[in-house]
Amino acid sequence: MSPNQLGFYTLLKKEVMRFWSVLGQTVTAPVLTALLYLLVFAQALQGRVVTGYEGVSYTQFLLPGLVMMTVLQNAFANTSSSLAQSKVNGNIVFLLMAPIGPVEMFLAYVSAALVRALLVALAMLLVAGPLVGLPVAHPLALLAMFLLAGSALAVLGMIAGIVSTKFDHLAAFSNFIITPLSFLSGVFYSVHSLPEPWFSASHLNPFFYMIDGFRYGFFGHGDVSIWLSLGWTAGFFILMATICLWMLVTGYKLRK
């Protein structure tokens, strides 16, 4: 095993153990929050909201969106909090001195974030899926959307962690970018119910395609084509990955 490979596995293990040691905070808490959203909105809006999907109840429509929203938020939180904490505490220097290249560092952070996101998604689906009666029409589409969307937000989290010099900056990313884009992405409604210009504006939100494509995996149809959702999500991931790898290679805001 080369030094870079060893560095990759070591950093991956360190990142997984970091969130595993506080599993109640990193996995259980977001699952409970999402289930509360499901309970409240399902009780309040069941029978009053038209999903646009034939034979799909509002509760069934809601659950996949909540799962993907939680995946996106946790993938972002895992990488952004880790890098920001390392920079603020000053121990980022030990990572930069380690025998690990930018690509291996990139892959280790993204992989750990996907592990956390997968745990959250599985917990939600195992608890709420049987109660809601959620079908699975296209498992490969589910897997593809999970990997692409989770990786994209993990990389965005790395970018946020790199550019943030204090936790206030990280909170701004979450409060003004991640949360608004998540809530305005069609999690709680079909975008076809929106008037103009909000209907058109929703199609400029990359989170919309992530959630709609994930929902397609369960029901076999969505508000847009699955190929459009995959294309938008893949394009967003490639853009974020290019920026992040440039930062890692050049040491932007990592090396003083």
Whole-number Å distance between alpha carbons of 161 and 82: 7
* Percent of the chain with pLDDT strictly greater than 90: 62
Mean pLDDT of the chain: 90
- At what angle are helices 58-89 and 102-132 packed, to 10 degrees? 150
pLDDT for the residue numbered 114? 98
Q: What is the mean pLDDT of residues 166-194?
A: 89
Span 219-245, pLDDT tens digits: 998 899 999 999 999 999 999 999 999
How many CB atoms neighbour CB 89 within 10 A? Answer: 8
Mean pLDDT to the nearest integer, 114-133: 93
Residue 256: its pLDDT value, please? 61
Q: What is the pLDDT of residues 44-101, one digit of tens each?
A: 666 565 556 778 888 899 999 999 999 999 999 999 999 999 988 888 888 888 888 9
Planar angle of CA 186, 191, 193, nearest 5 degrees: 125
Task: Read off φ and ψ for residue 220, nearest 5 degrees.
Answer: 85, 5
Residue 217 banded pLDDT, cuts 50, 70, 90:
very high
Q: How many CB atoms lie within 10 A of CB 82?
A: 22
